[in-house]
Structure 1
Amino acid sequence: MSSDSQEIRRSILSKWHKTLSEYGNLFSSDTISGTSPPSVFVGSYNYPKVFVGPMVPPIHGDTSLLDNPEKWKGRSLEEIINFRLNLVRGVQKTGIEETEGRYIENLQEITMSEKPTDLDLVFIKNTSSNISMDGESAPFGPTGEIKSAKFSGSTPTKPIEKIFYDKDMKAQDAVLKLYSSGIEISKIQKCFSIGMLGKKRKLVPTKWSITATDDIISKSIVKEILQNSIIDTCKVFSYEHLGNVFSVILFPHRWIFEMIEGWYSNGILGFGSDSEDARGIDHPPRIAGAYFAAKLGVSEYLLKNKIQAGVLIFREIRPEYAIPVGVWQVREGIREAMKQKPQMVSDFNHALNLASSKTSVSKKEWIVNGDMINRVRQKTILDFI
């Protein structure tokens, strides 16, 4: 980890501790009363007996922004981390098959709510104000084991309510139905996680539900774009946010997709990549959920514009991205990249030059750490350096 990353993390931690010194009683208590965005969390620790519960800030009112990644464009890393830290996580240990008890049903009701929902929680003991910022996992606020919970009434989101009561629809079909109804992906992921979808319902750890939702939707979109005409020129899109630089190349080819990530660790540049053709990916991606998040962001663009293309994405993770905040930022970063005006170039090699110039990583380093050149042209890497 670079000194820049460590300094950024120290600065954020310092400000958080200052907040605790002023309002610590709100974050270290055996009770909390507040308005959930709404937000729920299902952990993966001790699976299949997992910790499940609502996330609630110690304030009342419109708190929807605190857990709505689709609305975080232009927000700084520090702002987004503070959104997360201000949500107190109440938990109870629950088996993943237990989706019909009153506690889980209450969580399902707030998940499908149109608006933020008031909650009152009593914990077995005071919540801990200690937080984790190890640079590896996304941070979260204080956690407390719930002794009792009072949930206020809520108005359900109609498309979600309809899907919830359809016990004959497969989970995959339910995800696609909600997506086509205009429900935000972050909302669909929560419904998936809290056991609201499918025939054989169960709780799904939040991080798994995020990846599964992106995978289901992007896979469905790719099936559609395979019927579209192939573009006849190369386009390069780029976007930067939260210490992440994205360069996206679209080039004339039947659907083929690769994402290459480059990051810095102790001053050394590391890489990871995964790719697929029209048959899809045949293994769990090495770059994990970021792969499906990026695939979804770019496939939406192809579907909307009724085109088909080969896709190569460079993601440079700079030291400024000192604290990871989740793969949602990859999906939203690619979505924003595809909203920018593309630069048109005559051939793939020029596109590689342009895309790599947006980053601090050389074209050669990107190419040798991916597989696209071999897939596309059956030429040697030297032909493109």
Structure 2
Amino acid sequence: MAKWHETLSKHGNLFSSDSISGTSPPSVFVGSYNYPKVFVGPMVPPAHGDTSILDSPERWKGKSLEDIVNFRLNLVRGIQKISVNKTEGRYIENLQEVVMSSQPIDSDLIFEKSTSSHISLDGESAPFGPTGIIHSAKFSGTTSEKSIEKTFYDKDMKAQDAVLNLYNSGIEISKIQKCFSIGMLGQKRKLVPTKWSITATDDIISKSLVDEILDYSIIDSCKIFSYEHLGNVFVIVLFPHRWIYEMIEAWYSNGILGFGSDYEDARGIDHPPAVAGAYFAAKLGVLEYLAKNKIQSGVVILREIRPEYAIPVGVWQVREGVREAMKQKSVLADNFDDAILLASNKMSISKSEWLANGNILKLIHQKTLSDFF
């Protein structure tokens, strides 16, 4: 971990100034500290041109942890303190235009004083570099994404419907989250901290996909998919069962193995999951596969977080890791027991440990009333 702190402090000192001129990817960030009065503002690198890669997790496949941290530390975050209920006024309207833009936007920020090089890491959102309180902000050259613009002006549409509408028109999830966060969707609009908007967006979309797949027929054999990136190993087991879903995570802390897990059936989950935003991000990745193939199944997702994942870069990597796993060739197993064995062989944690720390066997063995008629 020390090496990362070194890297971070080295990069953290890269930018210190009382103004910045650059091209925003486009990107905005809403903090959660001090809610309901939060810090809101754009993120801008000290560079001009096509900077979109700096804030498009969907394009980070194959990049190393260091690449991603470097992308992110280039983003300087401007902030002003604003009440979450204030979704109008010049400053917020400017930021909404930034988010609506279909391409990077030239931005000029003047800060009240030089930026502080404190690096932000919260596990849910991707990290970013220095922060400065904005004295004034100018943005030029926005070109609106038509489907976002239409949804923005539709004040009668519920937030859930707005999210689904954008998702179904092919807008990237990272973009929808920003619209949600900066108070652009729904009837009662307010600013939503970035890390909450990430989870809310994944949750809304995956709920709607569950409703869709409940009508499809159940698969007839067990399939195992896997993918590894950024020190995370994902193994997804699909098995013949109506929709039930469990995610189990394992990680090493000072050589001691820790576990977290949560699960649901068709009724969904009624509490914040123990594995936080990763739960909804992973669920979305696997449901897209089921919906696309018009099938239903039971699902177990195993995630091993290896020590190489030394710096959290956000739950986007869970969603993209699972999406990527579902594109790989699957391995077939004769039954659930064999499937979990094959899955655990891809990791450094045994089948019995995964099963002991999850609830999937109980879920599978629960008889429902319909089984008796």
TM-score bucket (shorter structure): over 0.9
Inter-partner Cα distance in structure 2 for 1:11 and 1:304: 44
Q: 5 Å matches for 1:45-124?
A: 45-124=33-112
Whole-angstrom CA distance in 2 between matches of 1:172 and 1:137 = 21
* The one of 140, 148, 154 aligned to 2:136: 148
AA aligned opposite 1:122: I
Distance 2:126 2:146 in 1: 31
Whether the 8 Å contact between 2:124 and 2:313 is mirrored in structure 1 is no
The reply on whether 1:203 has 2:191 as its aligned counterpart is yes
Shift of 1:11: 5.5
- Which residue in 2 is equivalent to 1:305? 293
8 Å CA contact 1:136–1:323 kept in 2: the answer is no
Partners of 2:123 and 2:315 within 8 A in 1:
no
Normalised by the size of structure 2, how large is the TM-score? 0.96
Secondary structure of the corresponding residue to residue 308 of structure 1: coil
2:124·2:195 contact (CA, 8 Å) conserved in 1?
A: no
Bigger Cα displacement from structure 2, 134-143 vs 107-116 = 134-143
CA 1:255 to 1:133, structure 2 compared with 1: closer, same or farther past 3 Å?
closer
Runs of 5+ unmatched residues, structure 1: 1-5, 380-385
1:168 pairs with 2:167: no
- Structure 2: distance between partners of 1:372 and 1:13: 40
1:373 matched residue in structure 2: 361
Q: Is the 8 A contact 1:262 1:272 kept in 2?
A: yes
Count residues in correspondence: 367
The whole-number CA distance in structure 1 between the counterparts of 2:365 and 2:155 is: 48
Tell me the CA shift for residue 165 of structure 1: 0.4
Letter in 1 for 2:315: V
Deviation by residue 1:311-349 (Cα, 9 ceiling, x = unmatched): 001000000000000000000000000000000111111
1:110-164 deviation line (CA, Å, top 9, x unaligned): 1010100001000000002243569898532000000011111311000000000
Tell me if the contact between 2:123 and 2:313 (Cα under 8 Å) persists in the aligned partners: no
In the other structure, the counterpart of 2:227 is 239
Say which SS state the counterpart of residue 164 (structure 1) adopts: helix
The CA deviation string for residues 62-121 of structure 1, in whole angstroms up to 9 with x for no partner, is 000000000000000001011110000000000111111000000000101010000100
Which residue number corresponds to residue 266 of structure 2? 278
Partner of 2:305: 317
Given residue 97 of structure 2, which amino acid in structure 1 is its aligned partner? E
Question: In the aligned structure 1, how far is the partner of 2:199 from the partner of 2:328?
Answer: 26
For 1:71, the aligned partner's letter is R
Name the CA distance, whole Å, in 2 between partners of 1:334 and 1:138.
Answer: 17
Alpha-carbon distance in structure 2 between the residues aligned to 1:243 and 1:291: 18
- Provide Cα deviations, 1:179-206, integer angstroms capped at 9, x if missing partner: 0000000000000000000011000000
- Residues 258 and 89 (structure 1), Cα distance of their counterparts in 2 relative to 1, 3 Å cut: same
Does residue 9 (structure 1) correspond to residue 4 (structure 2)? The answer is yes
- Match for residue 33 of structure 1 among 3, 21, 39: 21
Structure 2: 5+ residue stretches without partners: 368-373
Note if contact 2:286-2:322 (Cα within 8 Å) is conserved in structure 1.
Answer: yes
User: What amino acid sits opposite 1:53 in the alignment?
Assistant: G
Q: Is the 8 A contact 1:9 1:133 kept in 2?
A: no
CA distance in 2, matches of 1:32, 1:166: 34
TM-score of the aligned structures, taking structure 1 as reference length: 0.93
How far apart, CA to CA, are the structure 2 residues paired with 1:229 and 1:246? 25
1:339-385: CA deviation from partner (whole Å, max 9, x where unpaired): 00000111111101000111101111100000000110359xxxxxx
**Structure 2 partner of 1:221:** 209
The answer to whether residue 251 in structure 2 is matched with residue 263 in structure 1 is yes
Q: Secondary structure at the match of 1:319?
A: coil
Distance 1:156 1:137, change over 3 A: closer
Identity of aligned residues (%): 76
1:220-261 deviations in Å (ceiling 9; x for gaps): 000000000000000000000000000100000000000000
Cα pair distance change 1:199/1:188, threshold 3 Å: same
RMSD of aligned alpha carbons = 1.5
Matches of 1:344 and 1:90, distance apart in 2? 50
CA distance in 1, matches of 2:107, 2:125: 27
- Deviations 1:278-328 (Å, cap 9, x if unpaired)? 111121101110000000000000000000000001000000000000000
Alignment of 1:317-336 (within 5 A): 317-336=305-324
- Residue 382 of structure 1: aligned partner: none
Contact 1:254-1:310 at 8 Å conserved across structures: yes
CA separation of 1:136 and 1:210: change in aligned 2, threshold 3 A: closer
Letter in 1 for 2:106: D
CA-CA distance at 1:209 after TM superposition: 0.2
Q: Which moved more, 1:6-15 or 1:120-129?
A: 6-15
Counterpart secondary structure, 2:290? helix
Moved more, 145-154 or 235-244: 145-154
| Separation of aligned partners in 2, 1:220 and 1:378 | 25
User: Secondary structure of 1:230's match?
Assistant: coil
Give how far 1:9 is off. Answer: 1.5
The residue type paired with residue 225 of structure 2 is F
